[in-house]
Copies of this chain bind each other. A is one copy, B any other.
Amino acid sequence: VIALLSPGADAELVRSELARLGLWASLERTADGASVMFVIAPHSAHCDVSAIQKIRGVQSVASSASPHPKLDAQGSVVDVAGIRFGGDAPVLIAGPCSVESESRIFKIAEAVAAAGGSFLRGGAFKPRTSPYAFDGHGAPALRWLRAAADAVGLRVVTEVMSENDVALVGEHADLLQVGSRNMQNYALLRAIGKSRRPVLLKRAMSATIEEWLASAEHLLVHGAASVVLCERGIKGFDTTTRNLIDLGAVALLSQVHRVPVIVDPSHATGRRDLILPLSLAAIAAGASGLCVEAHDDPGAALSDGPQALTLDALAPLSRSIAGVWNATHGAL
């Protein structure tokens, strides 16, 4: 955003009014001094162009069109199979990293439902850094997942990794997840969009917020019913917290962009001992919900056991996030 000054305007008075609005501004002028303008920095507070326009000494305000009009039009509340993201209660998604067996996923589903969860998660197709690692049970796992969720009244969210699996996953899931590594896999975004289903879009490890929103726009342009964002930690330099949970992005998305965003504290930190405090912090920052990994026996898990919560931790987590939600949603 650029504020052009009227001829003869006092630039320092204008800068002062911009600061009052929470706007950081740098002055640029033509060599002959005929044109003077302030460029508003991207980390400024949100501000309507009309408020800047009203400042005495500002002649006009130039801005660029939003690069994601469809996302802007989506609104701050998204309903997926009757569950509202961005509504008046936090949404809890929980389940194992991967769907390991029919009996196990039924057991976990029961605990998720009992704790007040809304969605059961679990991978049928797993992205794994190593080609030698377990990568999911595929189609049968999808059926077990759906059956387990149905048995206890939960919805299903699970990841789609291949364009060719979109239809299959779409048969079993209420919400299709795009994983972090595929956030800019445009062929996949297109195929999922065309399925006209709601999508949970995880942030890539080093995506800027605008790159993330642009991927959401890809989904909507191709037909996705709706998009919910999921922050899961970005690449950082400190190995003791594995990834870097970016709650500034969550606050910006929820409070300024008004887009529903949830947080996955399990992948964001990898540490079971930090999942509770970071879940609470996520809700306080404005997240609409959480996606956490839980397992009935983390020691036996085929993947991600060390970061999985045990099932008895789910109900206390659920109660705690309700408490924080109530304490903060008057303020936010």
Contacts and interface: CB of A to CB of B under 8 A. Distances in A.
Contacts of A30: 4, 60-62
A247 interface: yes
A29 B128 CA distance: 24
B217 A130 contact: yes
Interface string A189-229: 00000000000000011101111001001100110000000
A244 B241 contact: no
A244 B248 contact: yes
Interface stretch (A74-82, A104-112, A148-156, A250-258): A250-258
A307 B24 CA distance: 9
Contacts of A116: none
Contacts of A6: none
A114 interface: no
A209 B182 contact: no
A63 B199 CA distance: 43
Given A247-B245, A284-B284, A206 B278 contact: no
A306 B23 contact: yes
A18 B273 contact: no
A62 B244 CA distance: 28
A124 interface: no
A166 B294 CA distance: 38
A283 interface: yes
Contacts of A270: 24, 43-44
Contacts of A26: 64
A73 interface: no
A258 to B, nearest CB: 12
List 3 A-B pairs, minimum CB-CB distance, nearest first.
A19-B305, A206-B206, A20-B299
